[in-house]
Structure 1
């Protein structure tokens, strides 16, 4: 391979379950002039065996095996040895469409772009794949031309998706752009995106979903159980620190960033009940100083209710954190009742209950006939009817009890999930 068109950096840490599919999707790209740099934490595990296999099998694969201490540091180490004309990042639990890098590279070359971003698919635990997150961008960004963030601030209004694009190596080096080296996953994507976009003179948007973003990995930092409010608040502090030095840009993109900051911080506190430490509250207050009221009021993606909540947090954080706990308690019981109602009215539940009722009704009639004949007429042959009726009644009671206990269990599981 004479020239490398795209260098793909793949940080990985305990992603054995998805790693083969991920690597295969990179190496089988229609653009063959690529290199894959896999950066792991140096553990001698199944993941290491997979990486070693591909490194021996394909000369385009390089690896770095050493303790890095975080996603950002791993990406930076990959960038440091990258030989490609453009750089890309892939997360080890995701996978690519076969034409991704060919389409992005050809589009970048045709437009002379510093960075090209594209949309993506979201993969959910139920197996569904949807393409909806970038509808707002598709409706507001131009195609077949480059632009700057000041021209189209809408570009920064949604998910950072730093893995959904390619970055010109010369541009990245000239502007000394690299990832924040926070511990663990660290939510470094928002800061990285801002560093790229506020320095890029030629941004391009390709309206085609080419990346498959998996939401089924429970070990991912984006999973609810792994959410780290403190780390997220620190990343937003770094975003505000950068923008404080560029007031004009801040005033332009402030309303568009408001939605992301709401989703990443306030919604977790108010809508999902994440607990705030004293340090978290202090940092949240500091961050919201930079979010001016007119940014919130003019935010194009925030709903009126979200604006009201964000303004409430800005004006009195302590009060709204207390209200968040009360709001969560009310929502918890509402969701619990809703879950029970849904389960009780489900087709399966109605079917089982109907069967029990069908069995119960005729035997109830038989019970009254048998009881009348036995008690008033002294006819003992109807004692069988009575016994069958009692059995059917017990069957109905057991069936209804089991269904009710199942509903309670489902509701309890739902409640526990919402508390996370």
Structure 2
């Protein structure tokens, strides 16, 4: 039975961290190493982690200065002893068979990686969305050309994306160590996970996707769609520019579709309930968004290939700078 490492970055989550850790300690798969990386928490999170590490030999805690989620994961990877590793966010929780299912996917199909779906839960734990994938096996060049491509976003004419998040995925530490794969900072990119994926899946040779949704992803007041991100437009443009340089032309349309998914979130957060802005301030923010050079370039290119009506209308509104309609 292989040792599995679970890395949990922790930052100011005293309300949720106990439930998260308990869900990992109660896994049916027992050969686990749980690494809690306290990323400079200012609440009681670090103290809670320390108490668990002093009580359970399977739990280790590292305290470090605050540098963000990506670098906290790198800190855990540097000391991981498991043959495989998975990541759990500290405000989320796992069902008891999460690790067992991921390991079974790897062992039964002789894979280096296994991917599962998830449930989105509210702050109080109520399920409000389920993402479950059809079971599939990807081998050889299909891992990067077909599986990773779907992590960039859906094709223009259908919904076939696989979430690029690194939680509920089990990775090979041999691949990570051999190719020195690390996370960038999410303070630079809107998503550090897709950067990681763009490196890891170059070297993965055999990936099993399982029809499990044993990971519970919690939406909290600090989540992306619930909290105003002042520099969000800049981040999605930086990410787009970075990924364009990493992928081949056949994947660009997926990236462009995802760009507009992110842009829709960017616009939605201007809602006064989130941004706390006045109407005139919101209109100015929308004007800034539609006048952005990257936004206009992507809209011009992506409009040519869109087949779905709602997408086409949205992109046209952005491209033609229909500020008041977007505001409404």
> When the two structures are superposed, what TM-score results if normalisation uses the length of structure 2?
0.80
Aligned alpha-carbon RMSD (Å): 3.1
1:217-236 matches, within 5 Å, as: 217-226=220-229, 228-229=231-232, 230-236=234-240
Does the Cα contact within 8 Å between 1:11 and 1:74 map onto a contact in 2? yes
CA deviations over 1:374-418 (Å, ceiling 9, x no partner):
xxxxxxxxxxxxxxxxxxxxxxxxxxxxxxxxxxxxxxxxxxxxx
Shift of 1:119: 0.4
**Are 1:71 and 2:75 counterparts?**
no
Aligned partner of 1:285 in structure 2 is: 293
Unaligned residue ranges in structure 2 (runs of 5+): 154-160, 272-281
* 1:363 counterpart residue number: none
- 2:311 pairs with 1:306: yes
Distance 1:112 1:31 in 2: 18
- CA drift of 1:189 comes to 2.0
Which runs of 5 or more structure 1 residues have no equivalent in the other structure?
332-420
In the alignment, is the contact (CA less than 8 A) between 1:270 and 1:328 conserved in 2?
no
1:107 aligns with 2:105: yes
Runs of 4+ in 1 over 6 A off after TM superposition: none
Return 34-43 or 226-235, whichever deviates more: 226-235
Higher relative contact order (CA 8 A, sep 6+): 2
- Partner residue of 2:175 out of 171, 176, 189: 171
More strand by share: 2
Distance 1:241 1:104, change over 3 A: same
For 1:100-249, what aligned pairs fall within 5 Å after superposition?
A: 100-124=98-122, 128-134=126-132, 137-138=133-134, 143=136, 146=139, 147-152=142-147, 153-157=149-153, 158=161, 159-183=163-187, 186-215=190-219, 217-226=220-229, 228-229=231-232, 230-243=234-247, 247=248
Shift of 1:187: 2.8
Choose between structure 1 and 2: higher helix proportion.
Answer: 1
Q: Which residue of 2 aligns with 1:255?
A: 253
Q: Note if contact 1:297-1:307 (Cα within 8 Å) is conserved in structure 2.
A: no
User: 1:41: Cα distance to partner?
Assistant: 2.5
Shift of 1:34: 1.0
CA contact (8 A) 2:4 2:31 kept: yes
Report the Cα distance in structure 2 between the residues aligned to 1:99 and 1:127, rounded to whole angstroms: 18
8 Å contact from structure 1 (residues 219, 226) kept in 2 = no
Q: Is contact 2:117–2:212 with CA below 8 Å preserved after alignment?
A: yes
Q: Would you say the 8 A contact 1:4–1:83 is kept in 2?
A: no
Paired residue secondary structure (2:7): strand
Is the contact made by 1:108 and 1:114 (CA closer than 8 Å) also made in structure 2?
Answer: yes
Question: Aligned equivalents of 2:85 and 2:230: distance in 1?
Answer: 28
Instruction: Mark the CA change 1:95 to 1:109 in structure 2 (over 3 Å): closer, same or farther.
Output: same
In 2: Cα distance, 1:270 partner to 1:26 partner: 35
Pair 35,200 (structure 1): closer, same or farther in 2 beyond 3 Å: same
Structure 1, 41-50 or 284-293: larger mean CA deviation = 284-293
Deviation at 1:31, TM superposition (A): 0.9
Q: Displacement, 1:281? A: 7.0
- SS where residue 5 of structure 2 aligns? strand
**In the alignment, is the contact (CA less than 8 A) between 1:108 and 1:116 conserved in 2?**
yes
Length-normalised TM-score, structure 1: 0.64
Task: Please give the alpha-carbon distance, in whole angstroms, between the structure 2 residues aligned to 1:272 and 1:305.
Answer: 20
- Residue-pair matches, total: 304
Is the CA contact 2:137–2:207 (under 8 Å) kept in the aligned structure 1? Answer: no
**2:246 match: secondary structure:** helix
